Structure 1
Amino acid sequence: MALSVRRFIGGDGERHAILVDEAGMPLFYPALWVTVTLRGGARAVNTIHNALNAIKCLYAWQDIYALDVEHRFSRGALLNPYEVHSLRDFLQESLSQKADGKVIPFSRKKKTVSPSSQYARMTVAAEFLEFLARRVCPSSEESEKRIAAMVAQIKANRPKQTTKTMGGEREEKHLEDSALDALETKLRPGAEGNPFTDYSVQFRNALMFAILRTTGMRRGELLNLKVDDINFGANILKIVRRPDSPHDIRRYQPVAKTRERQFPLDAELVNRIHEYVAQHRSKLAVAKRHGYLFVTHKEGRYQGAPISNSAFSKFIEALTGIVGAIHAHKLRHHWNYSFSSLSAAKGLSAAREEKLRSYLMGWEQNSGTAAIYNRRHIKQEAAESMLELQCKMLAKKKDSTNDQ
């Protein structure tokens, strides 16, 4: 069975995702599960999309091992322990698409997903199978116990998640100021070697980069900005949540994942935003209909429309030829490192620093997220302290040797 996840926009602007077969028909129980459990739980469309991809893997496992879980559950039979182990191993494998559209595992090449991805897949599989079993299994007190036991066994087979390794890579995602300065120079409109040809595109891209670097906002927040979010008189920028906006035609709508907030912008940056709006964006009639700040300038059916996630990704990919691997979140991490350095220079207490950082990044107070983004600065300070201590100890040992 060739399955795929389809996304579409409802008449009210709400984003939807469904799992469909090769004929484009939605699968009944996955659609019901999404409606009752995920959308009923106010889950974001990206979360739903990822969950349906996990369900797609579950159905691929059924196809390969000739299982019909729905039919089996309807007879009161559940998964056996060895089948749970088979599912665990299958959900660890990296999957691909055959020419006929069927999902297949890359078992021969031994390509596997990360433990966190396998953990997420198995969690979704357990929740969906529980949902399915409770609706098609003959109801009895005994079946309830057996369903609970099956779900518990699936979850028990998930890879272990330890706090010792979580966040280890996150703190390393940063760039040096010299690399960012060089990149900013290359991106200046009209600069020699600018990877973009159209002047309006050059201006827009340089402005997007400057905002990401100086504010630390997420890419979704950047692409969600509207002209009205900038107070040009007071030099204030607002980050506003607009989930399922009917005025946003993008199927993959960029959204602000964190809390709404506002903060000041440097006057020079505000002037550059005003120049982009007045001299570049204003030339596109379509741009006047939706209000989103950054738009597509390339001629074609999407000219003037809000810039898409894919177009933004192409912009970021073009930068790799200048400074190597880079993505928007690296700029967010770098901003947080710079904020840590500034806070230390100002002598802010750890508690005060966390409160300010949490507000500016849109995090809940005391969520602990601020500490994650402060790790690079802490790591550097720890390294400096370690070297300083070693120097003192070695110097003391050297003096003692000389005295002898």
Structure 2
Amino acid sequence: MNELSENVAVKIYKDTGGYSFPLIVRSGVFPACLYLNAYLNGNHNSPLSAKKNKASTQAPAFHTLKKYAYELKFLYCYFIEQGIDLVERVSSGEFLSRQEVDDFVRSCKLYANEGTIDESNIVAISDKRIRDAIHATSHSQPKVSAHTLRQRLIRLRAYIEYLFVCHHYDQEPTNTQARVDDQFNKFKLYINTFIGGTRKNNTIVKDAFESVIPSDKFFYLLDIIKESSPANPFKSSKLRNQLIMQILINTGVRVGAVLKLKVSDLIDDWDNPRFLLTRTPNDPTDPRLERPSNKTKALSVSISSELMKLIKLYIQTVRAENTTTREHDFVFISEKGATSGQPLTYKSIHKIVDKLGEALGIKLHPHKLRHKWNEVFEDKAREHGLTPEKIEDLRKYAMGWVEDSKMASVYNEYQLAVTVADISAKTQSKAVPRLGGDHES
């Protein structure tokens, strides 16, 4: 990696209105490319898109923009290392050759080397072992998922399209303009073949019968998250961490919903304790640089009376003892260090979940808890005799999904596999004749 690309980074800033936004910068402060950042923080709806009449006029949510920023940083660094200025290429009407696209696709399949080399992992190899070492490591570079590959290619296509619109869109028809349009369409057609092909490239096969969290691990998790559990892996903040995990496990909400939860969102109704899950992107009262967001629609989330009592206990004791909490209304706070009293961050919750995963001996992340909630929800709903249609309607409400969402099949792949296997087994037992003779019962 050359010196220029090593100095390129994604940084988060706040504007005068308090809204957070990402920028791709060089040497710490200078925008890496004005076009790159204009595309990143502008309206992502292209006039060339077939969905232009249905598209929102709003910019993507902050965390989507942050993801775009890292995708753009990847492609920007790649092309400057190749000595290719994308802005100059598109403005000249030349775009990218097939070989240049091929080379980029190959690079996209590998992890970007964001860090530095750990010298402790460098092993000296004798001349005698060089040939074997080269052979053994020739295919060992870590590969990205098909989804990551697809997103990187889509980001290049979208950025090239943005530059085309800036330099060539809606110009008077001439022979030169016709040639540029033709070159642009050829580029899109060629890269689309790779984007379409990524759907078939994911070689990781998931066993549909495998629960997202094995039952024995899940029951152990329910025990060790308790503040009173001797197996609790935390030395401090045990009540807060228990509440966070209980909300994630019991309700199936995303991490963003937990981080956004405010004291004023709690409704301590004797018959139906609950909290409001709101949609307030870039909440001006939120002091965090990376403000949490809620991807789902606003809804009311029911919780148990016991959980509500514990939340109120936390608010009236741990939270109330920190005077910094008078500056905001968010429930869960950092309890030590320079950020004590400030609203908890994404990084903090992921650390909590990671540590519990280590205690379980499995890789655990918050979204697995959302998947597990769906498995448990399906079991309980069936026990109540609910129809599949009713179960799906209730699930969509609880998850905050829109009416035409297809997410139910994604989250409940395990239950679908079990149901299909059960039906298949019963069908086979009727269709296959008994073997062995009359003495078999």
Q: Supply the AA of the counterpart residue of 1:112.
A: K
Asked whether 1:259 is paired with 2:306, we answer no
Percent identity among equivalent residues?
Answer: 23
Partner of 1:241: 279
d(CA) in 2 for partners of 1:382 and 1:67?
52
d(CA) in 1 for partners of 2:359 and 2:376?
22
Partner of 1:301: 338
Partner of 1:315: 352
SS of 1:157 mapped into structure 2: helix
Q: Supply the AA of the counterpart residue of 2:24.
A: L
Unaligned runs of 5+ in 1: 101-105
Describe how 1:275-354 pairs up with structure 2 within 5 A: 275-298=313-336, 300-323=337-360, 324-354=362-392
Q: Supply the AA of the counterpart residue of 2:392.
A: E
Whether the aligned pair in 2 keeps the contact of 1:126 and 1:154 (CA below 8 Å) is yes
Residue 109 of structure 1: how far off its partner (Å): 4.7
1:253-292, CA deviations, whole angstroms, 9 ceiling, x for partnerless residues?
A: 2211101111332111111111111121111111122111
- Pick from 250, 254, 260: which aligns with 1:218? 254
Describe how 1:113-152 pairs up with structure 2 within 5 A: 113-136=144-167, 139=171, 140-152=177-189
Residue 251 of structure 1: how far off its partner (Å): 1.8
- Pick from 10, 16, 22: which aligns with 2:15? 10
d(CA) in 2 for partners of 1:151 and 1:205?
48
Assess, with a 3 A threshold, how the Cα gap between structure 1 residues 366 and 280 changes in structure 2: closer, same or farther: same
Give the TM-score, by structure 2 length: 0.81
Whether the aligned pair in 2 keeps the contact of 1:184 and 1:206 (CA below 8 Å) is no
Partner of 2:34: 28
Q: Supply the AA of the counterpart residue of 1:206.
A: Q
Partner of 1:103: none
Describe how 1:4-153 pairs up with structure 2 within 5 A: 4-26=9-31, 27-38=33-44, 41-97=58-114, 109-136=140-167, 139=171, 140-153=177-190
Partner of 1:368: 406
Give the TM-score, by structure 1 length: 0.88
Whether the aligned pair in 2 keeps the contact of 1:285 and 1:304 (CA below 8 Å) is yes
Residue 388 of structure 1: how far off its partner (Å): 4.6
SS of 1:325 mapped into structure 2: coil
Whether the aligned pair in 2 keeps the contact of 1:358 and 1:364 (CA below 8 Å) is yes
Residue 167 of structure 1: how far off its partner (Å): 11
Assess, with a 3 A threshold, how the Cα gap between structure 1 residues 395 and 279 changes in structure 2: closer, same or farther: farther
d(CA) in 1 for partners of 2:114 and 2:217?
38
SS of 2:16 mapped into structure 1: coil
Whether the aligned pair in 1 keeps the contact of 2:277 and 2:299 (CA below 8 Å) is yes
d(CA) in 2 for partners of 1:80 and 1:179?
52
Residue 335 of structure 1: how far off its partner (Å): 1.1
Partner of 2:52: none
d(CA) in 2 for partners of 1:255 and 1:151?
33
Describe how 1:155-234 pairs up with structure 2 within 5 A: 155-158=192-195, 160-162=197-199, 169=206, 172=210, 174-198=212-236, 201-234=237-270
Assess, with a 3 A threshold, how the Cα gap between structure 1 residues 107 and 128 changes in structure 2: closer, same or farther: farther
Whether the aligned pair in 2 keeps the contact of 1:17 and 1:48 (CA below 8 Å) is yes
Moved more, 187-196 or 246-255: 187-196
Unaligned runs of 5+ in 2: 46-56, 118-136, 172-176
